Amino acid sequence: MEAGKEGGGRGGDERVGNTPAVWKEKMVREWQKIREHAETYPYVWGSYIVVYGSFGVYLTYRWRKLRRTEGRVRILQERLRKLVEEEEAATASSGSGASIKPPSAPPKSVATPTKNAS
């Protein structure tokens, strides 16, 4: 064996492989391969564009919808926090320090079970 080839090929070649010119050359070669493949198989690449483009559009739609929902939730939380602070201030200003009575009826949004007269 040659002395320069031993040790897994780790010699002075490491510094040469990391230069910007080498990276640029590698990128140009890869781009040419991809371009040649796309010209040879246009329907394959067209399907890639359709499928992954659709994924991108769908994910963008869901992301924007999530952000809008989070914004509405933050606004509602802020309103609720202000209402609670006002209610606590009103309770504290009443002087007696009596606790707040729980509502006697369930909220309208909760459906109460009914028995059928059968």
Residue 3 forms part of a structural domain: no
In the block, tokens 């230069």 appear at 19
Q: Describe the crossing of helices 42-93 and 20-40 by its angle, rounded to 10 degrees.
A: 110
Residue 46 forms part of a structural domain: yes
- Predicted pLDDT at 20: 86
Q: What is the pTM of this model?
A: 0.46
Range(s) of the domain holding residue 61 = 18-92
Residue 107 forms part of a structural domain: no
Mean pLDDT for back-to-back runs of 10 residues, the chain (118 residues): 50 63 93 93 92 96 96 95 93 67 56 54
- Predicted pLDDT at 15: 54
How many whole angstroms separate alpha carbon 9 and alpha carbon 28?
Answer: 25
Longest dimension (CA), the chain: 99
- Predicted pLDDT at 106: 54
Domain tally, the chain: 1
Residue 76 forms part of a structural domain: yes
H helices of 8-109, where?
A: 13-17, 20-40, 42-93
Residue 116 forms part of a structural domain: no
- Predicted pLDDT at 18: 77
List C-alpha distances in Å: 12 to 5, 7, 25, 102. 11, 12, 20, 80
